[in-house]
Structures are given as C-alpha cells and as structure tokens.
C-alpha cells in the first residue's frame, strides 16, 4: 500500500511535501547532478534580490553543536540574471519552483514581485521577511507584524492570483502568532517557518568571533524544537493556513514531527549540505512512517498532534476498508 503524499500549498498541488529550504539549494543545477529534481515536491530558490550582491566576507560558516551558523548575506546575481538564466532553466524542465525574494524596502519587494509576476515557471512566491528594513533603522521585517504585513500586502496585490504568496517568518520574535496573523490578514496564502534564529560562536584559538560578520543564522538539528514549537503555535491559532515547516529536518521522523504539529509541507536546508540526497531520503522515510502507522494520506497527519489527549487519531476512526468504494 502506498501513502498518498500529495499536498496543497493554498490551491497549488505538490506531488509530495518535501521542498528545499531557501538558500540551501542555490538554483537547482548543483543538486540536479545528483538526482532528478522532479522528485522534489518543489524546489525553493535562494532569496533573489534586485541588485547583484557579493554577500558577507568569509568566514561565513561555523559548525556548532548539532548545527551551524551562516552569514552568507544573500549572495546572488540579482533578479535580471535570475530571470535570464536561472528561472528559465527550471521552467524549461517543468520543475515546481518556489521563488524566494529578499529586499531592504517595501518598494524593493514590490518591484521583485512585479518582475516575477509574468515570468513563467513560478509555482509560488516566498517572501523572505528576515531582511533588515532599511527604512526602519535596520529592524528586521519579520520581527514586526506591521512591517511584515506591509510587505505581504504589496506583494500580494502584484502577484497573479494563481501564484500563492508565502510569508517566511523568523522565530526570534516575542509573539510569532501575532506576526503570522498580520501576514495572513495582509493576504499571505501560506507561511514558511522558520528562518534562522540569530546566534554567535567564538573561536577559542583566535580569541575572536568565528564569523566575519560576528553573528549569523543558526540552522540544523539544533533548531528543530524551535521550528516544531513555532509551527504548533501558529497552527493552533490559524488552523486553516497552510504551513511549510522548516528547521533542522534531517530525517523523515523530524519531518513527521513538523507535519503532526501542523505543517502540510516540509523544507530541508542544512541536511542538504550533509547529504545531497537528503530530500529524497526524508520523503521516503516520512512515507514509511506514515504507512507504518496506518495512514493512507499525508493530509490526515497534518496537525494531528493537536487532538485532545485520549481521543483516537482521526484516520483510525473511519474504517477505511469498508468506506473504500
């Protein structure tokens, strides 16, 4: 018996729930050396910016217990090169593509959306809200409901209706539910959670910060519980909103936790650095776990852990043998 792994990101159907996390699969070509990208539920690009960006100085990476810090600084060739070379490559191959965008002002996000609105091959648009807002003393958009909402409203008004707009939230905020609600009220069709919380490591040989940028984003298994908590809280408050759970997913069991907390899709980031085949392996492991527990559909497991203690799992309440036509 195979499990129906299809999932919906708003009204867009994905063949399975596993996607790459923004910034962890570049624009696809590197992973395509290893496997057929059609086997992903979707590929999420790195965050595309208006102008080319050289990013931060090196060292940009420091391994930390069960995780790593990165300070890449959104290095990339900018939207023109993306539209010219990277997106067509994905579009021609029919790969489901979630395009991530990043900007420093609301106008910059709107302009990026405008440039992508007519581009073929955009399955969904993910708005990386973890960029510093240049018009608000560098305060990160995702840290403030109203700033995040302003970006989302403007992007949503520009993007075509059939392209879902996904707001990507940061975990290090006082009230993630409030930010999530502000984004949904502003028109976000789905939410991605979580981006990297900020961390720091100090090199005890050099007696200096390990990263040139001093602080960096923490990723990997160390943040899985943080992601599970965020997905749980937001699903509890906004049960109808599709969530992409991201953060520290290395195995199918990690993905399953996020699904049970309320995610209908799962992003895989740092695991790709460890294992280029991570997405395929995690998808298979997740399917095996679902099958072993009697699920016929992934959808039946989404948010299941929220049921009151003592109640039987939904999917086991129906006698599926009998009800099947």
Partner 1 sequence: MAGTPVQVTGTVLTTRRVDAYHALTVVAPGIAERFRPGHFVSVAVGGAYTSMVTRRALSVHDVKSDYGGTVELVFTVRGRGTAWLAERRARDTLDLVGPLGRPFPLPRDPAHCVLVGAEYGSAVLFPLADALLARGCRVDFVLGGAGAERVFGAMRARRIAETTTLTTEDGSLGLRGKVTDALPSVIADTRADAVYACGPMETLRAVTAVGMEFDIPVQVAVEEQMGCGIGVCMTCVIPVIGDDGATRMVRACAEGPVFRGERVRFEDVGTIPFDALGAPGGGARHVS
Ligand X SMILES: Cc1cc2nc3c(=O)[nH]c(=O)nc-3n(C[C@H](O)[C@H](O)[C@H](O)COP(=O)(O)O)c2cc1C
Bind-site residues: 70-74, 128, 168, 194, 220, 247-248, 269-270
Active-site annotation holds for 279 = no
Using CB under 6 A, which residues numbered 230 to 269 contact ligand X? 246-249, 268-269
Stretch that binds partner 1, among 93-101, 189-197, 234-242, 273-281 (CB under 8 A): 273-281
Angle formed at CA 85 by CA 71 and CA 76, multiple of 5 degrees? 15
Contact (CB, 8 A) for 36 and 30: no
Phi and psi (nearest 5°) for 16?
A: -150, 165
Choose among ligand X, partner 1, none what residue 22 binds, the Cβ cut-off being 5 to 8 Å by kind.
Answer: ligand X
Task: Give the x/- contact pattern for ligand X in 299-318, rule: CB under 6 A.
Answer: --------------------
State the binding site for substrate: 70-74, 128
26-54 CB burial, b ≥16 within 10 A, e <16: ebbeebbeeeebeebbbbbbbbbbbeebe
Considering the complex, state which of residue 39 and residue 60 has its C-beta at the smaller distance from partner 1. 60
Which two structure tokens, joined as six digits, stand for 134? Answer: 């240049």
Please report how close the Cβ of residue 193 comes to partner 1 at its closest, in angstroms.
20
- What is the C-alpha to C-alpha distance for residues 132 and 129, in angstroms, rounded to an integer? 8
Could you tell me whether strands 61-64 and 67-70 are parallel, antiparallel, or unpaired per DSSP bridges?
antiparallel
Examine residue 204 and tell whether it contacts partner 1 (CB under 8 A): no
Tell which one of 17, 234, 270, 298 touches ligand X (CB under 6 A): 270
| Three-state DSSP class for residue 117 | helix
| Residues of the shown chain interacting with partner 1 in the complex, contacts defined by CB under 8 A | 23-26, 30-31, 33-34, 46, 49-61, 63, 65-68, 70, 72-78, 102-104, 108, 131-132, 134, 212, 220-221, 250, 270-277
């Amino acid at each position: 018996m195979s499990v129906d792994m299809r999932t919906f990101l708003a009204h867009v159907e994905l063949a399975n729930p596993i996607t790459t996390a923004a910034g962890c699969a570049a624009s696809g070509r590197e992973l395509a050396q290893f496997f057929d990208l059609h086997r992903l539920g979707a590929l999420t690009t790195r965050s595309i910016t208006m102008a080319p960006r050289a990013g931060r100085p090196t060292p940009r990476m420091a391994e930390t217990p069960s995780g790593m810090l990165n300070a890449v600084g959104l290095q990339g060739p900018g939207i023109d090169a993306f539209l010219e070379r990277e997106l067509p490559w994905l579009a021609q191959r029919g790969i489901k593509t979630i395009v991530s965008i990043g900007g420093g002002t609301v106008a910059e996000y709107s302009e990026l959306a405008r440039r992508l609105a007519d581009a073929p091959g955009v399955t969904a648009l993910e708005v990386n809200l973890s960029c510093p807002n240049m018009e608000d003393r560098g305060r990160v958009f995702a840290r403030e409901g109203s700033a995040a909402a302003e970006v989302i409203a403007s992007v949503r008004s520009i993007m075509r209706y059939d392209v879902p707009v996904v707001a990507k939230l940061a975990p290090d905020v006082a009230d993630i539910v409030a930010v999530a609600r502000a984004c949904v009220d502003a028109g976000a069709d789905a939410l991605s959670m979580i981006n990297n919380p900020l961390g720091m490591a100090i090199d005890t040989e050099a007696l200096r910060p390990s990263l040139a940028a001093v602080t960096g984003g923490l990723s990997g298994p160390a943040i899985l519980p943080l992601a599970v908590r965020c997905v749980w809280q937001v699903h509890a408050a906004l049960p109808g909103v599709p969530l992409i759970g991201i953060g520290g997913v290395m195995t199918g069991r990690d993905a399953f936790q996020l699904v049970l907390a309320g995610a209908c899709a799962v992003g895989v980031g740092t695991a790709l650095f460890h294992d280029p085949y991570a997405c395929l392996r995690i998808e298979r492991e997740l399917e095996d776990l679902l099958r072993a527990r009697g699920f016929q559909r992934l959808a039946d497991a989404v948010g299941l852990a929220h049921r009151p203690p003592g109640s039987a799992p939904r999917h086991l309440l129906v006698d599926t043998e009998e009800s099947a036509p």
